[in-house]
Chain A
Amino acid sequence: MSCGISDVALDLVMGYIDDPRDREAVSLVCKKWYHIDAITRKHITIAICYSTSPDRLRRRFPRLESLKLKGKPRAAMFNLIPEDWGGYAAPWVREIAEAFNCLKALHFRRMIVTDADIALLVKERGHMLQTLKLDKCSGFSTDGLLLLARSCRCLKTLFLEESLIIENDGAWLHELAVNNSVLETLNFYMTELRISSQDLELLARNCRSLISLKISECDVSDLVGFFRLATALEEFGGGSFNDQAGETNRYEMVRFPPRLCCLGLIYMGTNEMQIMFPFAASLKKLDLQYTFLSTEDHCQLIQRCPNLEILEVRNVIGDRGLEVVAQTCKKLQRLRIERGDDEQGLEDEQGRVSQVGLSTLAQGCPELEYLAVYVSDITNAALESVGNYSKNLCDFRLVLLDREERITDLPLDNGVRALLRGCTKLRRFALYLRPGGLSDVGLGFIGECSRNIRWMLFGNVGESDVGLLRFARGCPSLQKLELRSCCFTERALALAATQLPSLRYLWVQGYKASPTGRDLMAMARPFWNIEFIPSRQQIVYDDLDDRPGAIESQAQILAYYSLAGKRTDCPESVVPLYPE
């Protein structure tokens, strides 16, 4: 008896329910609903691959069509996690090969995938694989890509962004161009793969549905032919600019496809910028993080882009550039302002973002959903502005750079509270400050005012354990917490971990260790894996210095819920901890 709803009807209705939390609620109603959910669930994301086992996944969701797995902690993107930490795709690929015969889309993020894994995947599932994403992965080579290219003729999306790929040759791209005619998205952005522009042209000829291409470095002047052929292209990223002496018109012949609306060009400089002007008004997404543009250049370019929805820049954009954004980009939804180089060269003195730019931006762009910014200065008022105007904000990340000695207005307690109270849709929140940036009272505010926030990252916040414990009394939805360079003791961390009601993942680097290391065990409980990465010293050879330097990496704690028991594949650098 299912509340008077027939099974057939239930089946159909459930097909419309996609949100994983809704599905979770549905599966808890009764066994029948659990079963129907299990066989109709299309997609699963496993936030940390060690939280469950391939076997458990298969037993519950045998008809899965799409799977996303994440391995290494997020800190790996910042070189903080040992390369051999783990996150091996092998056990998952084996299970997929054996049992998941409906699987069409697979996404591995920050995992170790070998050529053998790819070979097995291709052999068993290659004929139906439509989407494969090896996202910031490592462990495989172009031989694996060659296998994929030859056998996966249904592949619509191949995504390899930022993966570390061993390069043997460029044949894989040629094979892809020859064997595939349905490819829509190809991404090997931020990889070091070397490819030939002829293969790209062949791809453009054979894959008439190609709408997104993001490549590694390849001179843009060699892509003239490709751009002419890829008439359906909407997104392009990568390429590079290398003007040669005597060739003043090297990029004059470049004409972008008519539907292009998402663009990111590497090493583009002031002089090349104008190739974007003819279609700047139709740009929806712009990535300037890897360009050589000045503050003034940013102003010149962005004022021509009133339809921009996604913008990624470095802090060279400056407050002045943000003013232009606020005036021009009324439809802006996502803005990322990354950190520029610290090197003591001559910085564009306008290349800093402060409370001025932030306030202007908040007032000018009410559609903002994602805002990540590295600031050189900040005030409470600026954060209040964000709270007042950015009502659609779901993801807010602020990092206060450490160059300036004096910050206008610290601590940021009141500003943070105002922001959290104003931005009710906030789900993700990061605050990386300096000592004195946020007091214990401020931490308490965060705990009180973060009803829906599921992920938080803190750096240098709070003054003592009191702050952390106040924080841990709130945050009802907090599932994932990352702490860096804070002053909390092991004892407080362990206590907080047990108090936060929804916490299922904790990562800490930089804390007050206890003399015995036992205080951490206060959070030991069933299904809670605790791993310790001891501090390391890595010898690094700087190309420019002749002497080797040492990078000291402080100890880290990683703890997460797991139904799969303790990890059995820890490398030497990772120490699993158990209570006695």
Chain B
Amino acid sequence: MERKNSFRGIQGAISKINPELLRSVITSGTAARGGPEARSPPGAATAFRHATTPLPVLTSACRSGSKGTAPLTIFYNGTVAVFDLPQDKAESILKLAEKGNVGGVLEAADPTASGHEEDLLTKLNGELLPIARKKSLERFFAKRKERYAWLCSPLLPTSFLVLLIRFGSSPLLTNKYLRPSIVLFICRPCFSMRHVGDDSLLSRRRSQTLTMSQPYKMAEREANVALVKETGTITAA
């Protein structure tokens, strides 16, 4: 239990110190000597070894930095970090790991970060990966959101109200050939709404969202928008 607590402390501490603090701990002497800084992949938070088993010696060869440093690759539970370190610094890291005692610098770390780190580890090890999305489609969906989010802007000029009133008495509404139900429409100077089919029309994050489930359902919006669409053609507000 004690060891587990110390691991939480270690994990939490590492999450805080990586990359900047950890870098400073490791290279405090190195910087002064002008040697290369430790490189740790951004965000690869924890890479710490169980105290009772030796650190892995699986390293990536042929990537030594200048001036007698070598890469130290640390695997922990599926995460890995790579550091270019001189011999003495590597040894002190190994000693630290073996001792399980992280010393003064790391204890100053924020304990609240540990929760997040553990979640990250659990996630990286146990949870399913979300189904990856194709770049081209992602871009399309983002652009579509942009187009209609703009349409949903709460800043509607009051002149639309005038248009609306004019439109309200338009013969289109009274046209007997017009389909009885009406559809959603936004009064905007440049765009008229059209049915967009399956997926979301608008982001919910916008304060005023239009909803449109079936093509010919009316919805009302705060900003006094009403919609009429004649079957087959787009009509302007």
Contacts and interface: CB of A to CB of B under 8 A. Distances in A.
Nearest to B77: A513
Contacts of A345: 199-204
Contacts of B154: none
A315 B198 CA distance: 9
A434 B236 contact: no
A270 B192 CA distance: 13
B165 to A, nearest CB: 16
B99 interface: no
Interface string B113-151: 000000010011100111111111111111011110100
A578 B211 CA distance: 57
Interface stretch (B1-9, B20-28, B57-65): B57-65
Contacts of A401: 131
Contact of A245 (B145, B188, B213): B188
B190 A269 contact: no
Interface stretch (B79-87, B89-97, B104-112): B79-87
A314 B232 CA distance: 23
A339 B139 CA distance: 13
Contacts of A404: none
Contact of A402 (B75, B131, B140): B131
Contacts of A392: none
| Of listed A341, A347, A555, residue having the most chain B CB within 10 A | A341
A287 B233 CA distance: 23
| Of listed B142, B196, B232, residue having the most chain A CB within 10 A | B196
B137 A552 contact: no
A292 interface: yes
A316 B198 contact: yes
A316 B197 contact: yes
A518 to B, nearest CB: 5
Contacts of B129: 459, 484-485, 509-510, 554
A297 B235 CA distance: 19
A266 B140 CA distance: 9
Interface stretch (A59-67, A493-501, A535-543): A535-543
A244 B200 contact: no
B39 interface: yes
The B interface is mostly helix, strand or loop, or mixed, namely loop
B198 A573 contact: no
A170 interface: no
Contact of B80 (A314, A460, A517): A517
Contact of B43 (A242, A248, A538): A538
Nearest to B138: A79
A3 interface: no
Contact of A347 (B43, B130, B199, B234): B199
Contact of B194 (A243, A340, A399): A243
Interface string A515-549: 11110010000000000101111110001110000
| Of listed A80, A570, A575, residue having the most chain B CB within 10 A | A575
A515 B128 CA distance: 20
Given A78-B133, A537-B42, A575-B60, A292 B197 contact: yes
B43 A537 contact: yes
B179 interface: no
Contacts of B139: 190
Interface in A390-419: 399, 401-402
Size bracket, chain A contacts: 35 or more
Nearest to A550: B43
Interface in B33-48: 39, 41-45
| Of listed B191, B197, B205, residue having the most chain A CB within 10 A | B197
| Of listed B56, B62, B194, B205, residue having the most chain A CB within 10 A | B194
Contact of B62 (A338, A509, A576): A576
A6 interface: no
A515 B53 contact: yes
A515 B50 contact: yes
Interface in A288-336: 289-297, 314-316
A572 interface: yes
Given A346-B201, A576-B60, A271 B233 contact: yes
Contact of A351 (B123, B197, B202, B235): B197
Contacts of B190: 244-245
A75 interface: yes
A243 B192 contact: yes
B172 to A, nearest CB: 12
Contact of A580 (B57, B141, B197, B215): B57
Given A290-B140, A537-B43, A537-B44, A340 B199 contact: yes
Nearest to A460: B128
A535 B129 CA distance: 12
Contact of B75 (A314, A516, A537): A516
A199 interface: no
Contacts of B200: 341, 343-347
A201 interface: no
9 contacts: A269-B195, A292-B197, A293-B197, A339-B133, A515-B56, A515-B75, A552-B124, A575-B82, A578-B60
Given A75-B132, A271-B233, A343-B203, 9 more contacts: A270-B197, A296-B215, A341-B198, A343-B200, A345-B201, A348-B197, A543-B142, A550-B43, A575-B60
Minimum-distance CB pairs A-B, first 9: A345-B200, A537-B43, A316-B198, A513-B78, A351-B198, A341-B199, A78-B132, A517-B75, A343-B200
Interface of A: 75, 77-80, 162, 190, 242-248, 266-267, 269-271, 274, 289-297, 314-316, 338-348, 351, 399, 401-402, 432, 434-435, 459-460, 484-485, 509-510, 512-518, 521, 532, 534-539, 543-545, 550, 552, 554-555, 566, 570, 572-573, 575-578, 580
